[in-house]
Structures are given as C-alpha cells and as structure tokens.
Amino acid sequence: MPAQRDTHPNKTRKKSPGYESIAEMKPTRSYAQAVRNLESLPNMEKVRPDKSVADEHFKLDRMRALAAAVGDPQNGMPFVHVAGSKGKGSVVEMIAASLTGCGYGVGVYTSPHLVDVRERIRIGDEPISENDFVKHFNTVIAAAGMIEPEFGSVSYFEVLTAMALRHFAEQAVDISVLEVGLGGRLDATNIVTPSVTCVTQIQLEHTHILGNTLAEIAREKAGIFKPGVPALTVPQSDEALDAMREIADRVGAPFAVLGRDIEFNQRFEADPKLGPHMRVGLMTERGEYEHLAVPLPGEHQALNCGLALAALDCLKVLGFDTPEVRVAEGLARTRRHGRAELIWANPRIIVDGAHTRDSVAALVRAIGAHTRYDSMVVVFGCAADKDIDGLLEEISRGADKIVFTKSSANPRAADPEMLRSRYTELTGKMAQVEPDVKSAINTAARALGKGDLMCITGSFYIAGEAKKLFEEKSREKVGV
C-alpha cells in the first residue's frame, strides 16, 4: 500500500516555525501579517517530503476537527471534486467558467497560486478580498489553536482549505469546484461530500508518498470517490483504470470513462476567429454538447474539456441548468492563468507552470500547433526533485535558445548551473545561466527578434515570479 496513513499525531506533532504553538498567533488586521503567519506553517509545497513528513502532514482527522471547530461550513454545499496528476487545474477552471456562464455563483479552490495567495480562493474570477482573507484566517487560526493539543499543528494547506470552505459558505455560492492538492484519499479537501468527482490523467508522481506504480497512485486519487456519487475519468492505462474501477466498486460510486462509457468526440480545426483549436462533443441520455471550442491550447486539453462537460452533464440531475449556448459562452472565458498564458504582447511572452515531462511535452506541442513564431527563447527553472533529464529533453525539442535560472521563492529549486551542464550533456546544445528570474528575462529579451516568442516555464514558482514582474512593469511603466 502507499505510504500515506491517517494516523494520530499526538506524540509526533511538529511546531510551527517561530511559534511554540498555533495558539500564540494573535489575531491581526493586516493582510500582510496574515500572509506571513500563514507562511510560517508547515507547507508541503516548499519541501521534499519523506515518508515521516507525509505521515505527519496527511491526517484527515485533524482536517475534520478543524472544519468542525469553524462550524463545518462544507456541510450542505454542492461540490465538484477534481483529482489527478495532470490537467486537474484546467478541468476546475473549465467547469467553473461554464457554471459561471450559466449564471451560477461558483466557489473555486485551486493550488498553487502564481502571484497572490488570494488567487486560490475565488468566487467566479474574483479572488477573496484582503479583508475577508484576514477575517477567515483569524477564525481558522483560533480554531486551530483549540484543536492543537489533541491533533497537532495545522498545515498551510489545511488552513487555506478551511478558509475557502468558510468563504464559500458565507457567500452562499450555488456550488464549489475544488482541486485536490496532492493525492486524494487523505488530501485536506477530501472532507467534502461532492456531487460529482473527476480524475484527470494519472502519471507516476510523488512516488515517495503516493506509491511506486500507476495502480497505487490511481487508488490514492480515487480516494475522493464517494457512495452513490458519479466518478468520472478520462482514458487511462489499463492499470490505472482497473485500480480506479476497483475503488469505485468498493465504495459504490457509478464509474464512467470518457469515450468508453460516455460518448465523446474531438477534432482539430482552424478558423479566422479562433485560429487553430480543438473542438469537442459529448452526448448522454440527459443531453448533448456539440462542437464546443476548447478554450485552452493543446490537443491534451480536449479530454480535459470533455471531462468538464461530463461533470456538467451529471449536475443536471441535481437541477443545474447548463444549456449548450451558455456553457459555450462560459467556456470561452476560461482563465489561462499559467497555462500558456500570454503576459506581454510586444514582444510576445508566455508563462506556463508545466513541471513534469509530459506537461512540458504537451506545452511544446501546444505552442507549435497554436502559435506562429520564428524562434522560441525559453527561460527555464525547475525543482531539484523533478525528473530533470525528462524535463530537459522535452524542452530541448521546442527551445531554440534557453536561459536557465531559479525562483527565489522555491527552496527546492535546482541549481541553474547544474541544469545547464546536464542540458549540454543530454542535447549537445549550449545554454545561458542567470541567477534570478528577472536577469534571465532580460537576457532572453536581448535574444528576441521581431517574430520570436519567449516562453517562461518549468515550475509555477518561475511562472508566477515572471508574471508578477510583468504586472509590476505594466503598473509602473518602467523596464523590468
């Protein structure tokens, strides 16, 4: 079985850095102070967890206790719950955009963020306000201090999850769409009872936590399946599908695979208005969606869009009205947000949070299919615990020139000098190195010709730091 366990933390709980206990955190009126306090909590996104860290971090009993201490805001609220190795954020955004287009108030919880932590908690496209962030943070931290003697110190992600649930309940949203943080079975989001569950593509990832095979990882992802709740997925390896079907049968969740159990079609086309793009169609006994344009670039996004449409179809049983015209209008407004997102027009600069071999490969294919350019100059940095050889091999297929760097915000960042050395060993190509993202962008910009494209990728940290720099440039009207 995978390494995650829902064990009791009394004897091994860890303190929050800078505090003897959570109870020492005083209420604050300052958003900046709330963020500093939040960032002092244990955060799995900024460490490479070993088994002992994972065992301490993943405890649904603590998350349930925290939710109970703030009034169980998740009770009685409809949810769509989305897990997977690749594409889950895209599916969340397409579901949320479609439901918003149909006139519903939609809570959206995603991770990680690019620029501001408030991006993770939204109503439609509107991030939680600084005032509401502070209010909910103070409430959740006070509750965390109450449960700490029995359940141990809460984590960064647990606090944000409780804050999101409180915000969505307080705002009386019609439905919320939640992205699993890691895994599924013991993820903090898995205290909800959803109306639909979705699992995107399964890959070998976080093997030191989730398991060493696709089957083990698929079982962890399928841990979000609930009795009687439709469980949807995309075409997968037989190993992954068999494991998910096993969990679905065990808990009594109706299980369906896009393209097998749900009629689905996709095609590539180009037209003067949208340019090159994918279109998809889906048909069930409840209705159909025909020839809808996929709002995100890349062939891989067609399956993600189909999964989102299948979730919308399931929601019809609960009375959600999702007509094709309004769904199409909503889909067209789906946020790119770190997915081949154009952040500067002249010169053209895109950011993408791709951080696995498959996601980098998909990015290179998507850019090739959807964007005209002469040369592509890449700014690249990644975490040291990733499949570095795989990432470098894939980015080399699209990069004409490359500048390696690292994010100042990522303590797990790989040394850019090491990346350059390994890149040259693997590909025989030369590359440049800069110590920080700002310097790397400036170096890359000097290499850009009139018809060229800059792509900044390798991690959400790199993409987010770059996006923040260009937002500041846009506001201040000064050079980066």
Tell me the DSSP string of 389-437. HHHHHHHHTT-SEEEE---TT-TTBPPHHHHHHHHHHHH----EE-SSH
Query: Does pLDDT of 31 surpass 50?
Result: yes
H-helix or E-strand spanning residue 293: strand 287-293
- Residue 177: name the closest of 375, 281, 374, 314 by CA: 314
Domain end point (choices 285, 304, 331)? 331
φ/ψ region of 304 (left if φ > 0, alpha if ψ in -120 to 50, else beta) reads: alpha
3-state DSSP assignment of residue 327: helix
Tokens 């996004």 sit on residue: 301
Whether 398 and 268 map to the same domain: the answer is no
Domain end point (choices 331, 358, 376)? 331
Confidence of residue 280 (pLDDT cuts 50, 70, 90): very high
Please report the DSSP string for 375-386 in residue order.
Answer: -EEEEE--BTTS
H-helix or E-strand spanning residue 303: helix 300-315
Whether 317 and 354 map to the same domain: the answer is no
Query: At residue 468, what are phi and psi to the nearest 5 degrees?
Result: -65, -40
Whether 318 and 396 map to the same domain: the answer is no
Whether 291 and 402 map to the same domain: the answer is no
pLDDT in tens, 349-386: 999 999 889 999 999 999 998 889 999 999 999 999 88
> Which pLDDT value is given to residue 65?
98
The verdict on residue 4 lying in a domain is: no
> The CATH number of the domain where 256 resides is what?
3.40.1190.10
- For residues 396 and 331, the answer to whether their CB atoms sit within 8 Å is no
**351: β partners:** 341, 456
Whether 216 and 323 map to the same domain: the answer is yes
Residue type, 23: A
Average pLDDT, the chain: 91
Whether 266 and 233 map to the same domain: the answer is yes
- Residue 456: name the closest of 464, 448, 67 by CA: 464
Whether 113 and 188 map to the same domain: the answer is yes
> Which pLDDT value is given to residue 46?
73
Confidence of residue 6 (pLDDT cuts 50, 70, 90): very low
The verdict on residue 7 lying in a domain is: no
- Total structural domains in the chain? 2
b/e map of 308-324 (b: 16 or more CB within 10 Å)?
bbbbbbbbeeeebebee
Query: Does pLDDT of 156 surpass 80?
Result: yes
- Cα(403)–Cα(46) distance, integer angstroms: 23
Whether 254 and 231 map to the same domain: the answer is yes
Q: Both tokens of residue 167?
A: 């915000």
- Cα(289)–Cα(280) distance, integer angstroms: 8
- For residues 145 and 21, the answer to whether their CB atoms sit within 8 Å is yes
More confident residue, 393 or 42: 393
Query: Does pLDDT of 36 surpass 80?
Result: yes
The verdict on residue 2 lying in a domain is: no
> Which pLDDT value is given to residue 8?
39
b/e map of 94-122 (b: 16 or more CB within 10 Å)?
bbbbbbbbbebebbbbbbbbbbbbbbbbb
Domain end point (choices 305, 331, 357)? 331
| Other CB atoms within 10 Å distance of the CB of residue 273 | 7
- Residue 113: name the closest of 459, 372, 479 by CA: 459
The verdict on residue 8 lying in a domain is: no
Whether 142 and 124 map to the same domain: the answer is yes
Confidence of residue 116 (pLDDT cuts 50, 70, 90): very high
Whether 369 and 302 map to the same domain: the answer is no
Please report the DSSP string for 9-35 in residue order.
Answer: -TTT--PPTT-SSGGGPPP-S-HHHHH
Cα(first)–Cα(last) distance of the chain, in Å?
49
| Other CB atoms within 10 Å distance of the CB of residue 191 | 19
> Which pLDDT value is given to residue 53?
52
Whether 124 and 240 map to the same domain: the answer is yes
Q: Both tokens of residue 8?
A: 């009791």
pLDDT in tens, 382-422: 999 889 999 999 999 999 999 999 998 888 899 999 999 99
H-helix or E-strand spanning residue 313: helix 300-315
The verdict on residue 6 lying in a domain is: no
Which is it for strands 121-123 and 126-127: parallel, antiparallel or unpaired? antiparallel
Query: Does pLDDT of 304 surpass 90?
Result: yes
pLDDT in tens, 61-96: 999 999 999 999 999 899 999 999 989 999 999 999
Q: How many residues does the chain have?
A: 480
> Which pLDDT value is given to residue 233?
98
- Cα(218)–Cα(236) distance, integer angstroms: 10
Query: Does pLDDT of 14 surpass 80?
Result: no
- For residues 367 and 425, the answer to whether their CB atoms sit within 8 Å is no
3-state DSSP assignment of residue 121: strand
- Residue 223: name the closest of 201, 191, 195, 259 by CA: 191
Radius of gyration of the chain (CA): 22
Query: At residue 268, what are phi and psi to the nearest 5 degrees?
Result: -100, 135
Whether 27 and 125 map to the same domain: the answer is yes
> The CATH number of the domain where 362 resides is what?
3.90.190.20
Host domain of residue 254: 22-331
The verdict on residue 17 lying in a domain is: no
The verdict on residue 436 lying in a domain is: yes
| Other CB atoms within 10 Å distance of the CB of residue 73 | 18
Tokens 């609220």 sit on residue: 77
Query: Does pLDDT of 50 surpass 60?
Result: no
H-helix or E-strand spanning residue 164: helix 156-170
The verdict on residue 377 lying in a domain is: yes
H-helix or E-strand spanning residue 256: strand 255-257
